[in-house]
C-alpha cells in the first residue's frame, strides 16, 4: 500500500476510475449483445432500435476515454453493417 499522501490519493482515484470504467464497458458490451441477438432472431425493428442505443453507448464510452474513439467507430460501423445486411 502507498505511504505518501499523494500516492494514497492517486490510489483512491484509480480505484474509482477502474470501477467506473468497468461499468461503462459492461454497458457497452450489453448494448452490442442486444443488437447481435436481435439480428440473430431476425427482428429488424428491434435490431435498429438496439443499434441506435449501442452507437450512443459506444460514443459515450469513447468520449469518456474508456475505449479509443477509433475502436468505438469500428464497432459501430460493423454493427451497422450487420443490421443493414439482415434488414434487406
Q: From CA 59, how far away is CA 63, in angstroms rounded?
A: 6
Q: In this structure, which topology does domain 5-87 adopt according to CATH?
A: Methane Monooxygenase Hydroxylase; Chain G, domain 1 (1.20.58)
Domains of the chain, by residue range, sit at 5-87
Q: Name the band, by pLDDT with cuts 50, 70 and 90, for residue 1.
A: confident
Q: What is the pTM for the complete model shown?
A: 0.86
Per-residue pLDDT, 87: 73
Per-residue pLDDT, 41: 93
62 pLDDT above the threshold of 80: yes
User: How much is the average pLDDT of 52-68?
Assistant: 97
11-34 confidence digits (pLDDT tens): 999 999 999 999 999 999 999 999
Amino acid at each position: 500500500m502507498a505511504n505518501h499522501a499523494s500516492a494514497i490519493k492517486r490510489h483512491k482515484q484509480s480505484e474509482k476510475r477502474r470501477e467506473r470504467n468497468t461499468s461503462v464497458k459492461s454497458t457497452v458490451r450489453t448494448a452490442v449483445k442486444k443488437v447481435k441477438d436481435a439480428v440473430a432472431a431476425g427482428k429488424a425493428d428491434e435490431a435498429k432500435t438496439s443499434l441506435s442505443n449501442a452507437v450512443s453507448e459506444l460514443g459515450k464510452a469513447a468520449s469518456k476515454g474508456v475505449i479509443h474513439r477509433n475502436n468505438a467507430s469500428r464497432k459501430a460501423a460493423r454493427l451497422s453493417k450487420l443490421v443493414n445486411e439482415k434488414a434487406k
